[in-house]
Amino acid sequence: MSGGRLRPCGQHGVTLVELLVAMALGLMVAAGIVSVFLSTSGSHRVQSQMARLQEDGRFAITRLVRDLRMANAQYCTPPSGVHSADDEPRPTRAPMVQASALNEALSDLTTPWGSAPYPSRPTSPYRFPPFLTMRGYQCGKASCTPRAPASLPPPGKENGRRVVGADVLTLRYLDISGGWALGGASTASVTADGLLHHVTVAPGQGEPAIAEVYQAGDLMMLADCSDSQIFSANLQGSAFYPDASDTGLNLATPVMPPQLSAPRLFDFNRDFHTTTYYLQVVELGDGSATGALMRRDNGEASEVVRGVERLDFLYGVEDAGGGTRYLTASEVDDRAGGTIACPPAPPDTPGDGYGCLWRAVKSIEVHMLVSGQQVHGTLTADEQRYAYSIDGDTAPMAPDHAGRAVAPAEQGFDHRMLRREFSALVSLRNDSP
């Protein structure tokens, strides 16, 4: 048997050179894909941060503006009240204070009686002074002018501290949705000599029960469309009786006007709000920090939104000539070095006029610097630039630009974030008392 002849088989596949070329081409394609992915991912992160920044900035401005429009609000809107033909009109509707301990019912107070330049504690009834209404604080790197409320955190870079270089603003206003309307089941009783004897409260539909609002020691406020009075009272059953002046709780007994226009009784401690806005340092959980807009209402602080690193206010004050000048808080306090005259004050207003321009504030200019809250290591130097008008910027500048009133690093914030300015001009609809 003859055997078959074996034929050599040819080699199949690729050479080493071809393999290396293919691998190189594959790596190039993969690198291109990764590069495109990283670029797209980075762009997406920037866009996401910008969208979040815009949303947070708009929300912060909207919430703050809502409170600013309530500044100095009182019950019943006409600034001069409702008067009969023989009434002598008042320059403003500042409440008449009969209570001896008004200051103790107010939060975040920095104008105590007897502390220069403020007057001594009054010994007779007086009109609610302007320095107890609205009050701003211009803050730099080390301190605020005037001095910020001691009830707020001290400034610093640590978590929970007040943000360095951010202004503070305290507003006061009456929540007219509270209280009890008089004229139906709720009535006011008057003595033969025209003094308030007591007010009987029978809550109507939508009104709170007395126990839901009142706490022993609270001051009361009786108001109508012409005037209002703040006094100390004690609750007996469902009636509030003004405390006698010989108890030291009232300077005098409230006087009832001959006519009342839509009268209403308020719990002053609950319905009269002291609202303070400031910034507080908060941790983001990744080793970095940012600022949070804080709203402190009657002593209770709550966080509004994060990412706010700068907060500045300018106050539009109307002078005697009818012109409006925008001043810082310290300039409002001292009448721009005494160059602006005080507006007319109602009779029985205590003091020599210091702080009187808070009555003349007609508008407030708000400026905020909001960050994206995420450190973005791939941001270029140009992308880190931002313009903040309070610093005098006419074009985007670097975070550490020498012209800045305060730089992010001085506040404890990373400069590798997106930042944008938000601003608003708010007209005050309520005449200051």
Asked if residue 80 has pLDDT above 50, the reply is no
Give Cα separations from 181 to 65, 162, 187, 231, 264 (angstroms).
29, 41, 9, 17, 4
Distance CA 366, CA 63 (A): 12
State how far Cα 215 lies from the chain centre. 27
User: What pLDDT was estimated at residue 14?
Assistant: 66
Are 279 and 152 in contact, with CB atoms under 8 Å apart? no
The model's confidence at residue 249, banded by pLDDT at 50, 70 and 90, is very high
63-73: burial string, b at 16+ Cβ within 10 Å, e else: ebeebbbbbbb
pLDDT tens, position by position, 256-275: 887 888 999 999 999 999 99
**pTM (global) more than 0.85:** yes
Taking the CB of residue 27, how many other CB atoms lie within 10 A of it? 10
Edge-first strand listing for the sheet containing 308-318: 324-327, 308-318, 361-371, 419-427
- Report the run of H or E that residue 365 belongs to, with start and end: strand 361-371
Distance CA 410, CA 163 (A): 10
Query: What are the extents of the domains in the chain?
Result: 51-83+130-173+272-427
Are 301 and 293 in contact, with CB atoms under 8 Å apart? no
Assigned token pair, 323: 């012109």
Percentage of residues of the chain with pLDDT beyond 70: 89
Assigned token pair, 261: 């226009």
Stretch among 12-26, 92-106, 265-279 having the lowest mean pLDDT: 12-26
What is residue 30's three-state secondary structure? helix
The candidate with the shortest Cα–Cα distance to 252, out of 132, 351, 349, 122, is 122
Q: What is the mean pLDDT of residues 18-34?
A: 79
Q: What is the mean pLDDT of residues 171-181?
A: 95
Distance CA 218, CA 195 (A): 20
Residues 6 or more apart in contact with residue 51 via CB below 8 angstroms: none
Q: What's the burial of 268, exposed, middle or buried (CB within 10 Å: 0-12/13-18/19+)? A: buried
Strands 239-242 and 228-236: antiparallel
Q: What is the mean pLDDT of residues 19-39?
A: 75
Q: What's the burial of 306, exposed, middle or buried (CB within 10 Å: 0-12/13-18/19+)? A: buried
Neighbouring C-alpha atoms within 13 Å toward the C-beta of 394: 0
User: What pLDDT was estimated at residue 89?
Assistant: 46
User: What pLDDT was estimated at residue 24?
Assistant: 82
User: What pLDDT was estimated at residue 11?
Assistant: 58
